């Protein structure tokens, strides 16, 4: 059962308005299921849009942010809970500990690093929590193509590749994660 889902996404909104629309739709779908969101604690970009949408829908949002980023990422002041930690490692560990599943919305290097770390932890058997990406307007399509290529070339096993759920629709992605 998924009670809390960790959302990785950008501290910026990206070039397309579709990213923020999708983040809000994902947040609404999560809140409707009564699932708490755990995320990086910022009030800006897709991070802020996701948190605000969950809160507006009556859901709970827990933020985890390193002290050094409180001002830089503009820590969200209206969350259900905000944890301020010392390091990025502590941030990621706490977010993982508080979550039953992980989803990456569009984002940059930090989002990718967080996604790949939880995927690696899953492949190593350090957790058995489901994870996936919301492929908004094909944002992740080049990455998915590369992952399939790496699988074809023998660097990622098919079972490992299958561990990553991918969908363009928030509700279907949540259904995939719940069924794992």
Q: Which of 147, 155, 149, 154 is nearest to 104 (CA)?
A: 147
Angle at 44 between CA 42 and CA 46, to 5 degrees: 95
Element (H, E) at 161: helix 158-162
List the domains of the chain with CATH numbers: 4-178 (3.40.50.450)
Span 115-172, pLDDT tens digits: 999 999 999 999 999 999 999 999 999 999 999 999 999 999 999 999 999 999 999 9
CA of 179: how far to CAs of 58, 133, 175, in Å?
Answer: 25, 15, 6
Span 23-82, pLDDT tens digits: 999 999 999 999 999 999 999 999 999 999 999 999 999 999 999 998 786 899 999 999
Model pTM score: 0.96
């Amino acid at each position: 059962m998924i009670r809390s889902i960790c959302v990785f996404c950008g501290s910026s909104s990206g070039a397309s308005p579709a990213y923020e629309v999708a983040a809000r739709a994902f947040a609404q779908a999560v809140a409707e299921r009564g699932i708490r969101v755990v995320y990086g604690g910022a009030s800006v970009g897709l991070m802020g849009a996701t948190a605000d949408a969950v809160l507006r829908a009556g859901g709970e949002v827990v933020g985890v942010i390193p002290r050094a980023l409180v001002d830089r990422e503009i820590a969200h002041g209206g969350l259900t809970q905000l944890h301020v930690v010392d390091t990025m490692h502590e941030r990621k560990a706490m977010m993982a500990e508080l979550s039953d599943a992980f989803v990456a919305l569009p984002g940059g290097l930090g989002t990718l690093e967080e996604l790949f770390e939880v995927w690696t932890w899953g492949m190593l058997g350090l957790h058995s929590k489901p994870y996936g990406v919301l492929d908004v307007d094909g944002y992740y399509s080049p990455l998915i193509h590369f992952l399939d290529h790496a699988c074809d070339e023998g660097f990622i096993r098919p079972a490992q590749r299958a561990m990553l759920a991918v969908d363009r629709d928030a509700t279907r992605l949540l259904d995939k994660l719940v069924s794992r």
